[in-house]
A and B are shown apart, each in its own frame.
Chain A
Amino acid sequence: EPEVTQTPSHQVTQMGQEVILRCVPISNHLYFYWYRQILGQKVEFLVSFYNNEISEKSEIFDDQFSVERPDGSNFTLKIRSTKLEDSAMYFCASSAPELPGAFFGQGTRLTVV
């Protein structure tokens, strides 16, 4: 069964450093998303991406965040200068036009120290 894969599973970084979280969406999907879940809190939408551009973003997705689809398979989330409050589980998701539900990856746990 096809699945969304995310790497790494756990990333520890120092405050102020840049991190790149990587995702490989399901191959025939066209819509890509990043969500995050701070420990003990609800899952929050960050950004959606379609046709090589951001289609929507939340208030959380400020200038320190960026997304990219550098090739035909990867979808990345970059955090330019990490803050302690960026520590969270980050989920990548993808969906197909004919299927309104999104499929989620296993998540990357980001710890900023």
Chain B
Amino acid sequence: AQSVAQPEDQVNVAEGNPLTVKCTYSVSGNPYLFWYVQYPNRGLQFLLKYITGDNLVKGSYGFEAEFNKSQTSFHLKKPSALVSDSALYFCAVRDMGGGSQGNLIFGKGTKLSVKP
């Protein structure tokens, strides 16, 4: 069965420092991988996705993620964190089953806290 793991409940970084939010996945075939961000009292906003092609994917707000097939990981990164990046981040993998687009399976989320 497909699954996503986000091993850290919370990540704390200082503003200006690089950040990494970890995600590992398990799928039976080729993965479609996504990162979403949720700000307080807001919905889920799409950040970036990996479908195929370059392992380094660039997304919104300066975020990027690196697909590593051998480690089954898709870690979210940003070279220089901003206080405004503080939010809840969800990794998701597309469920390849069914006749639809496939349903997203989400990780539990990682709370990112960026301090000035």
Contact = CB atoms under 8 A, between A and B. Distances in A.
Contact of B103 (A42, A48, A105): A48
Interface stretch (A13-21, A70-78, A96-104): A96-104
Contacts of B22: none
B103 A56 contact: yes
A95 B101 contact: yes
With most chain A CB atoms within 10 A of its CB, the pick from B45, B101, B106 is B101
Interface string A88-110: 00010101010011111111000
B49 to A, nearest CB: 5
A8 B58 CA distance: 34
B100 interface: yes
A104 B47 CA distance: 12
A45 interface: yes
Interface stretch (B12-20, B36-44, B65-73): B36-44
Contacts of B43: 6, 91, 104-107
A103 B46 CA distance: 7
A106 B42 contact: yes
Given A104-B43, A104-B44, A104-B45, A45 B103 contact: yes
Given A42-B109, A43-B90, A56-B98, A101 B103 contact: no
A33 B103 CA distance: 8
A27 interface: no
A103 to B, nearest CB: 6
Nearest to B92: A43
7 contacts: A45-B103, A48-B100, A50-B99, A50-B101, A97-B101, A100-B49, A107-B43
Closest 9 A/B residue pairs (Cβ): A106-B43, A55-B100, A104-B44, A43-B106, A42-B108, A56-B98, A31-B101, A107-B43, A45-B103
